[in-house]
C-alpha cells in the first residue's frame, strides 16, 4: 500500500483505497505519508484522510495529532476549487466537527 501512495500509482480512487488500508494497519506510516504527500494529494485522497482521522478523533492516536498537522490538512482542503470542495464536503464537515478544538482556521 505505501508504494501506491509514495509513487502516485493509479487514479485518485486507488490512492484513497490504498490510504484507507494503510491507515487501518499502521497509523504512524499513514501519518508520514500524509505529511510528505499532502501538498499534492488528490481531492478523493484528502477526503479519505479526513474520514480516517475523524474516525479516530477520540482515540489516543487522534487526540495526539498536533494542531499544526490538522490545520495543514484543513488548509489543503481550503486550497481546492469550489467544485472539488463540494465533492468531499461531507468529509470536511465531519473533520471540522471532530477536531473543532484544534482547528484554528475555518
106 found inside a domain: no
The domain total for the chain is: 1
How high is the pLDDT of residue 105? 66
HSE on the CB side for 88, CA within 13 Å? 26
In a domain, 103, yes or no: no
Q: What percent of the chain has pLDDT over 90?
A: 87
Q: Is residue 78 one of the residues assigned to a domain?
A: yes
pLDDT the model gives residue 10: 92
Report whether 65 contacts 103 (CB < 8 A). no
Whole domain around residue 29: which residue ranges? 2-98
Q: Could you tell me if residue 65 is inside a domain?
A: yes
CA distance 87 to 25: 26
Residue-wise pLDDT for 54-76, tens only, equals 999 999 999 999 999 999 999 99
Asked whether residue 73 is domain-assigned, the answer is: yes
In a domain, 105, yes or no: no
Is residue 104, in this structure, part of any structural domain at all?
no
Amino acid at each position: 500500500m505505501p508504494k501506491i501512495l509514495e509513487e502516485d500509482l493509479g487514479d485518485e480512487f486507488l490512492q484513497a483505497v490504498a490510504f484507507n488500508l494503510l491507515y487501518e494497519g499502521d497509523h504512524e506510516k499513514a501519518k508520514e505519508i500524509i505529511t510528505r504527500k499532502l501538498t499534492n494529494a488528490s481531492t478523493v485522497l484528502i477526503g479519505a484522510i479526513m474520514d480516517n482521522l475523524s474516525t479516530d478523533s477520540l482515540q489516543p492516536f487522534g487526540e495526539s495529532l498536533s494542531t499544526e498537522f490538522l490545520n495543514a490538512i484543513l488548509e489543503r482542503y481550503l486550497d481546492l476549487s469550489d467544485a472539488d470542495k463540494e465533492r468531499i464536503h461531507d468529509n470536511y464537515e465531519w473533520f471540522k466537527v471532530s477536531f473543532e478544538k484544534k482547528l484554528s482556521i475555518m
